């Protein structure tokens, strides 16, 4: 006995199906009307809200702009390197990076282009950076974590205030300006950094000298404590503040 084939019925051919689809469409229209997708409004004219992907270093970030990920190099400032193939890690480089990351995660991120070139030879966007409407470049300069650099007209819109902020930080010896001859017009002079030179502490000699612990114990069987005239760092092998104990 042959089985009867069931006829497939389209939902739109059923009165109930038509009503269901109509209700769904009406519901979507009502939702879009009362709950439209909110567009992020800029803090002020000229600023462009963007989404942060990650912080690369003190003066570079990766963002989503015009639907794709792009690196952004901060205009008019330069921070010490963190992992340069030739220069390596420079003083205050990590601190600048961490401060930049902290700022990036503290509010609404926006960028501002100048009137000139928008992309450098490495394909990075060139822009001024803002968090909650406040300049990130100005904060890094004020905290002595960046210097004014790479000044290429006509991208000089904020050069004057940047130089004034830098002058104040330099005068107060903040951050990079606390190391003599470190921040220069052509970059950062790592050789001027005292941190690169190991500090050799002079060995404290005893005021009452002994050739060795055997000789010292003849007079002081239990050894001597740091501060005692016979104490010598040479005889304090475990550096616990007692010699020849």
Tokens of 164: 């004034």
What is the CA 54 to chain-centroid distance, rounded?
A: 9
CA distance 165 to 141: 6
The residue from 81, 110, 112, 138 that is catalytic is 81
Let me know: does 127 contact 47? Beta carbons within 8 Å: no
What is the rounded CA–CA span in Å between residue 223 and residue 237?
12
Alpha helix ranges (H) inside 35-92: none
Using alpha carbons, list the distances in angstroms from residue 140 to 72, 170, 172, 206.
16, 13, 15, 49
Tokens at 181, concatenated: 């001859």
Catalytic residue, from 73, 110, 112, 147: name it: 73
Q: Is 124 annotated as catalytic?
A: yes
Q: What's the gap between Cα 159 and its chain centre?
A: 22
From CA 66, how far away is CA 115, in angstroms rounded? 19
Would residue 39 show up in a list of annotated catalytic residues for this protein? Answer: no
Compute φ and ψ for 204, nearest 5 degrees. -75, 120
236 near 227, Cβ under 8 Å? no
User: Is 157 annotated in the active site?
Assistant: no
Q: Give, for 72, the enclosing helix (H) or strand (E).
A: strand 68-74
Which position among 99, 110, 112, 124 bears the catalytic label? 124
Task: Name the residues annotated as catalytic.
Answer: 73, 81, 124
């Amino acid at each position: 006995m042959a089985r009867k084939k069931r006829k497939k019925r389209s939902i739109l051919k059923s009165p109930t199906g038509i009503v269901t689809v109509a209700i769904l469409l009406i519901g979507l229209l009502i939702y879009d009307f009362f709950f439209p997708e909110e567009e992020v409004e800029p803090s002020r004219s000229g600023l462009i809200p963007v989404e942060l992907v990650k912080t690369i270093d003190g003066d570079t970030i990766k963002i989503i702009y015009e639907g794709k990920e792009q690196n952004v190099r901060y205009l008019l400032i330069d921070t010490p390197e963190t992992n340069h193939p030739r220069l390596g890690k420079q003083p205050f480089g990590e601190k600048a990076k961490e401060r930049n990351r902290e700022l990036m995660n503290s509010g609404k991120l926006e960028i501002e282009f100048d009137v000139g070139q928008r992309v450098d030879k490495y394909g990075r966007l060139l822009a001024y950076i803002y968090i909650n409407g406040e300049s990130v470049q100005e904060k890094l300069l004020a905290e002595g974590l960046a210097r004014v650099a790479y000044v290429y007209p006509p991208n000089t819109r904020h050069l004057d205030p940047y130089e004034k902020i830098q002058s104040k930080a330099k005068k107060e010896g903040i951050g990079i300006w606390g190391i003599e001859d470190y921040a220069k017009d052509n970059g950062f002079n790592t050789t001027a950094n005292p941190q690169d030179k190991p500090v050799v502490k002079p060995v404290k000699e005893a005021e009452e000298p002994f050739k060795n612990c055997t000789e010292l114990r003849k007079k002081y069987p239990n050894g001597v404590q740091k501060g005692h005239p016979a104490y010598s760092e040479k005889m304090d092998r475990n550096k616990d503040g007692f010699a020849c104990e």
